[in-house]
Structure formats: C-alpha cells, structure tokens
Amino acid sequence: MDLSCFKAYDLRGSVPDQLNPTLAEKIGRAYVEITGAKKVIVGYDIRLSSPEIAEALSSGLMAAGADVLDIGLCGTEYVYFATSHYRADGGIMVTASHNPKHHNGMKMVGPESRPISSDNGLNEIRDRVKEPFADAPVQGKYETLEVTSAYIDHLLGYIDAAALKPMKIVVNAGNGGAGLVIDELEKHLPFEFIKVHHQPDGNFPNGVPNPILEENRAATAEAVKEHGAAMGIAWDGDYDRCFFFDENGRFIEGYYIVGLLADQFLRKTGPGSVIHDPRLVWNTQDLVEAAGGKAIESKTGHAFIKQRMRDEDAVYGGEMSAHHYFRDFAYCDSGMIPWLLIAERLCQSGQTLSSLIDARIEAYPASGEINRTINDPAKVIAAIEEKYSFGAKSISFVDGLSIEFDNWRFNLRMSNTEPVVRLNVESRADIALMEEKTKELLEEMERLNA
C-alpha cells in the first residue's frame, strides 16, 4: 500500500495512485481509532475527486463508530470554525489547496481545532491504515450541518461595519472556493466586488490557484488597474491563504501584510502578543512594539505557530507565506479575516494601500524569499554560519540560521519539503545594503555548492 501521501502536517498526493476512496475509507477508520473521536466534521474543496473521497472518508469514520457532520463544499477554515464552534471532537478537510488539479489530500484537526501532524497522531494514523479493521459494534450516524450563516456572522464580528465606506475591490478566487464566501459577505458590505475567475471549477480552467507564483498574479493586477480598485485580493484553492495587491496592481510581499495586520489588530484589542515567523522580523517587531504589543518569534509552520499562539494567548499570528492566525478563530488561519481588516483600515484611515505599505518598505527593505537548490544544505548553512558569525550582533536558530548585524540581517533555512534552502535578507532603511548583501550571500552559496 502506497502511503506516500502522508506528509509532516497533512496528506497530499495524486489521485488515484496515492490517494483514492479505498484509502480514504481506511483513513477514516484509523482516525477514529487513534483519536477516539465520537463526532467529526467533514468538508471538502472544489476538486473533482473531493466529493467521492469525502464520502469514502465519512464511511470509514462511521464504520469505526463516529458520527459524521458533513458541512459539504467549503474552504479549510470552515472545518476549523465548525470543529471549534460546534465543539466536535475533530475535523477533516478534503483538499490539496494549491497542488496540481489531479492531486488531493486531507488536513486533520482534533478538539478545539488543534492540528494533527506527524508529531501528535498523523504517523500513528498512517501506521494503523496498514492493518486490518473490524466494524465498531455501533455504527456512527450521518447528518449534514449548515455552517455558513454562523461563519459569516463570525467573520463580520472582526470589523466595525459603521466604519466601512463604498470601495471597489478586485477578488480573484482562482476558480477555487473563495468566491462562494465573497457572494455571502457581499450582502453585508458596502463594497463593489470586481470578480475574477470567480466560479468554483475543479478543472481549474485558468490554472491551479496559487498566487505565490508570479505567472498567476497578472489577472488580479490588471483588473485592479482597469477598474481603478482600492486593492486586489487573490486566494489559493481552499482559501486559507490570501494575497494582496495595492491600488496600482502591485503585489505586496506577505511580510509587510503581517506588520499591517498586527498593527490593525492591536489597535482594536489593545496590548497583546503577536506571533511571527523568523524569516523577516524587524518591520513586524517595530509595528507591534509601537502599538503596545509584544512580538514573539516562532518556528515557521502552522502547527508550530498555532501551538505558540496558545502558549502565549496571542491575539494574532502571521507568516510571510500569507497564513494569518487569530485567537478568536480557534488560533487557526483564515484567508477571509485578513482582507476584511485591511479594508476596514483603508476606510478608517482614508489612506491608499500603497501609502501604508511604502513607508514600511522604505523603513525595512527586504529581498523576499529566494530559493536555491543545494546539494548539501546542512553543509552550506554551516559554512555560511562560520563566515558570518564574526562581528554579528546576534545569532539565532529558532528556524534555520538567523544572523543579525546593526543595519542588516538574514535568515537561511532548509525547506521541510524540498531539496532547497530559502534565503531572506532585510536592512534598516538601506535598499542598496540589502541588495548588496543578498547578492553576496547568493554568490557565496553558489560557490559552496559547486
């Protein structure tokens, strides 16, 4: 049995070779036996294979004795919300997010939407799948659950509706599921939505929804400019990540969105903790401290961020990869809450998104994440550490290698999923220095890899 679809944080693989209804049914059984769940939320994305896989998964859950609450076609955050809101024992989302259209997968959570990863049950579920199963003495029940109305009410609770003003916003769902939520939110908001690739379509006629790829950004950017919109928003397929474009159609690096959201959220909540990843940090730290908050670094990855948020009772957490986490959203990531908060900020301030972001780019220019394929990543990172340690202000290993000097810093880390290293460089108000050091580090990595 091919179980290569089991990854560190979720399941992902091609259909039907690595993931199919037969395996999905076994996964449902194993999930119940390993977690002891009695009531499980099940949702699925717009991929063509998702309904069949979700049905088989549900059959396995019920055969093992768990009741299934089917919330149907949705985004990953629906499962997070429903599991927490309705106090289920766990939830499973059938999705492959931004992976190729012939792929599928699953994201699993336990009580209170706590993530299930290789550290706390996913490997045990994988191993249990290999063994024979017997049906539970009492089969679980199946029922459908309507979540949208409660979910929309929850989203609207993050913003002050009275502060909102008419505004044009381009929204690009990438033919994923985000358009369904926008249609519901539209009924409650004074915004005019310019809808691009809006209809859910598992054939992905405009390419797999993954706005992190530059070639997938043009449609949003051009629509913003054509319609004179205040901003553009694009999502991946299961819309747990959202990406922003300013009124000029410029793509905004996720790093600067983290700082802006932290500032906006702390203005609403008062002093509190904010969790951020260690790749680029100075802008976030500056804004959080100015707003009376406390900025705390965490290792990159949703399982690490969510646990650290619980440990610190943080109000917000952000990764430059466009994952944004909220305490009142069961410490989970949402692709809808961030754009609502930024739209609110534009309405309240009367400023453009570019003016809000440009000041931060000038203060802390950054390289953005640069990936390089390296034969021996550990060796290269160790050599970089040795070379750059001399004269460093601080060295950190929270996630990879971070070395800080007075006016610039960098983070170099190995990918969890690919044979690449990822480099991020930033400076204090010195674009030329940032560019010089980025070039220098890349050349050194290339030399070491030769």
Of the residues 97, 113, 273, 402, only one is catalytic, namely 97
The answer to whether residue 394 is catalytic is: no
Asked whether the beta carbons of 342 and 242 are under 8 A apart, the reply is: no
* Six token digits for residue 379: 């060796």
42: nearest Cα among 123, 115, 116, 107: 107
Q: What single-letter amino acid sits at 379?
A: K
384: nearest Cα among 426, 431, 421: 421
The gap from C-alpha 289 to its chain's centroid, in whole angstroms, comes to 24
Interatomic CA distance for residues 403 and 14, integer angstroms: 39
Asked whether the beta carbons of 318 and 284 are under 8 A apart, the reply is: yes
196: nearest Cα among 148, 149, 245: 245
Interatomic CA distance for residues 222 and 230, integer angstroms: 13
* Six token digits for residue 108: 């699993």
**Residue 277: left if φ>0, alpha if ψ -120 to 50, beta else—which one?**
beta
76: nearest Cα among 307, 235, 300: 235
For the annotated catalytic residues, the residue numbers are 97
